[in-house]
Amino acid sequence: MKFKSRFSFSGFLILLILGICLAAPILSPYDPNAIGVADSFSGPTGKHWFGADDLGRDLLSRILYGGRITILIAMSATLIALIIGTLWGLTAGVRRGWVDEFLMRTADATMAIPQILFALVCISAVGASVISLPIVVGILLSPTTARMARSAVVTELSSDYVVAAIASGTKRSRLIISEVMPNIAPQLLVQLSINAAAAVMLEATLSFIGLGIQPPNASWGTLMLQGYAKIWNTYWFVFFPAMAVTITILAFNAYGERIRVTMDSRRSSI
């Protein structure tokens, strides 16, 4: 019986990050790829708030544009994971029997492969692009989503309202879409949020080890990679992109947690 405001700081933060990245061309003070040798290695100043890199490119602009790439990849990957994972889990949870067994063992097997290794092999084979990266990251995230979707659907299918729906002649397709899906949607939303955080992290990691978007374009991970070598002299190269990644991941995780808590308290208050 707790009364919480509808406003969520984490939700607001996510919208803010998305908004800023979307509006990068308007907000950026400079062209992210414009080279200005005079400013190379400039620290944070009034001219370059986040400093400039070795080629004198404005870091703030590069982070704003980099965010677009990171967020785009993370979002697409999350969406792919959601679609694959939900279908995967639903099929297992609804069909049960050997289908369930097969699909879930496959999920276990997929999860057992080291993520980076898997990505390494895939990206080396097809090359890094805004198409290949989301697909690879999405596939990596889908088994956890599948597991979650399966367990949610199995729980729902054993509940009284499903018995009532079957007993009143509801067809199976309708049962899943109209009765069960609305009830597992909040859990999927939580998973979506967790996946988004994981996708940002994975993209950053992949870029950091050189498997990300190739220059001159840069995602947050690429920026960190470029800055890492000079971390002792020019901390801002790595600090600001890292902060962007951290804040985004925290926001997504906090938002997921919030939905989960609201969901639980609502369920227990009934």
Partner 1 sequence: MKNALIVNNLTLSVPSSKGRVTVVDDVSFDIPAGTKVGLVGESGSGKSLTAYSLMRLIKDPVRIDKGEIYIGDREILGMSMKEFRHMRGNDISMIYQDPMSALNPIMRIGAQIIESIQLHSDVNHSQARKLAIEHLASVGIPEPDRRIDSYPFEMSGGMLQRVVIAIALSGEPKVLIADEATTALDVTTQDRVLTLIDKLAAERGLSVLLITHDLGVAAQFSDEIMVMYAGKLVERGSVNQIFSNPVHPYTKALLDSRCDYTIDVTKPINSIAGQPPRPDNRPEGCVFSPRCEHVQLQCREGVPPLISVQDRLAACFRADELFHVGMVH
Partner 2 sequence: MTSVATVTNVSRTFKGKTGVVHALDNVSFDLKQGHTLALVGESGSGKTTAARVLLGLDTPNSGSIEILGKTLGSLKHEELRLLRREIQVVQQDPFSQLNRRHSVERIISAPLIAFGIGDKGSRREQVIELLKSVGLEKEHLRRRPHELSGGQCQRVAIARALALDPKIVVLDEAVSALDVSVRAQVLNLLRRIQEERGLTYLFITHDLGVAHYMADEIAVMFRGRIVERGNRDDVFNKSRHHYTVGLLSSVPLATPSATKRSREQVQSLPSPGVNDACLYRSRCSVGLGREDCKSVPLQITQGSETHSWLCHSPVEHR
Binding site for partner 2 (CB under 8 A): 159-161, 163-171, 174, 179, 182-183, 269-270
Enter the tokens of residue 94.
């609804």
113 contact, one of partner 2, partner 1, none, CB 5-8 Å limit per kind: none
Nearer to partner 2 by C-beta: 165 or 213? 165
Phi-psi region of 56 (alpha: psi -120 to 50; beta: other; left: phi over 0): left
Q: Which is nearer to partner 2, 114 or 169 (CB)?
A: 169
Q: Does 1 bind partner 1 (CB under 8 A)?
A: yes
Nearer to partner 2, 53 or 179 (CB): 179
What ranges in the chain are assigned the alpha helix state H? 9-22, 24-27, 59-95, 97-112, 115-126, 132-157, 160-167, 172-174, 181-208, 220-228, 236-269
Decide if residue 167 touches partner 1 (CB under 8 A).
no
The option from partner 1, partner 2, none interacting with 182 (CB < 5 to 8 A, set by class) reads: partner 2
What minimum distance in Å lies between the beta carbon of 265 and partner 1? 12
217/262 with CB nearer partner 1: 262
Residue 6 interacting with partner 1 (CB under 8 A)? no
Omega prior to 29 cis, within 30 of 0: no
Structure tokens at 79: 């969406």
With CB cut-offs between 5 and 8 Å by kind, which of partner 2, partner 1, none does residue 215 bind? none
Could you tell me which of 101, 31, 75 has the C-alpha nearest to residue 199? 75
Say if CB 70 and CB 137 are below 8 A apart: no
The one of partner 2, partner 1, none whose footprint includes residue 2, by CB under 5 to 8 A per kind, is: partner 1
Cα separation of 55 and 262, whole Å?
48
Which SS3 state, helix, strand or coil, does residue 2 take?
coil
Q: Considering CB under 8 A, how many residues would be counted as binding partner 1?
A: 3
- The contacts of residue 231 (CB under 8 Å, 6+ apart) are 237, 238
Residue 7 found at the interface with partner 1 (CB under 8 A): no
In the bound state with partner 1, the residue whose beta carbon lies nearer, of 3 and 232, is 3
Cβ nearer to partner 1, comparing 2 with 6: 2
Rule CB under 8 A: which residues touch partner 1? 1-3
